[in-house]
Copies of this chain bind each other. A is one copy, B any other.
Amino acid sequence: MANDAWPSPSAAALARVVDRAAIADLVYEYARTMDLNLPSELAALFTEDCVVDYGEGLGGRIDGRAALERFVADSLPNVEATSHHVSNVQVRFEGPAAATGVAYLYAWHRFADERQDATLWGQYHDRFVRTSSGWRIAQRTLRVAGEEAMGFGAWHPIGRRTASRGARSRDE
């Protein structure tokens, strides 16, 4: 390709880059409201009929925005501080009003008691929909590469292929 002229992006490519920025902002707003312990503001980022799944160790499938708000309000009473660092935000559009995404999560947790700090390295696997109020999260599944001191298990794995056997985990 000639190095002297920029290819003109299509109208759809421009629309997608604007939507991508809005979706990334939505994913970051989730982290911000989580770390400030604002369950209502956090739940408002999801659709009314959202489905969220942090894994069996955190209660399994959560149905709907109201249940999500209660879960966030109740789930971690002993937490003193968290910091959810979200990166690697990838978005795939199914069309102008629906997209899927993967975003990496490095989450740090400090507890009010003597427990050691806990760390989780994982990925959010999301589905986004465009509503009349903007993009919202319709589905979110947390997948986990590893964790330290979180205190419970039964996470959804990220699905790393096993080197020796050439097979992926069944959950993938």
Contacts and interface: CB of A to CB of B under 8 A. Distances in A.
How big is chain A's contact interface, by range? 35 or more
A119 to B, nearest CB: 9
A9 B18 contact: yes
A121 interface: yes
Nearest to A36: B160
A90 B29 contact: yes
A53 to B, nearest CB: 19
Given A9-B14, A25-B90, A146-B83, A31 B104 contact: yes
A153 interface: no
A161 interface: yes
A15 interface: yes
Given A37-B161, A83-B104, 12 more contacts: A2-B96, A7-B96, A8-B15, A13-B18, A14-B18, A28-B89, A73-B163, A77-B164, A83-B106, A85-B87, A86-B87, A87-B87
18 contacts: A1-B97, A1-B131, A3-B95, A3-B98, A9-B18, A13-B18, A14-B14, A14-B18, A28-B90, A28-B104, A32-B88, A32-B102, A36-B160, A82-B145, A84-B88, A85-B87, A85-B104, A108-B146
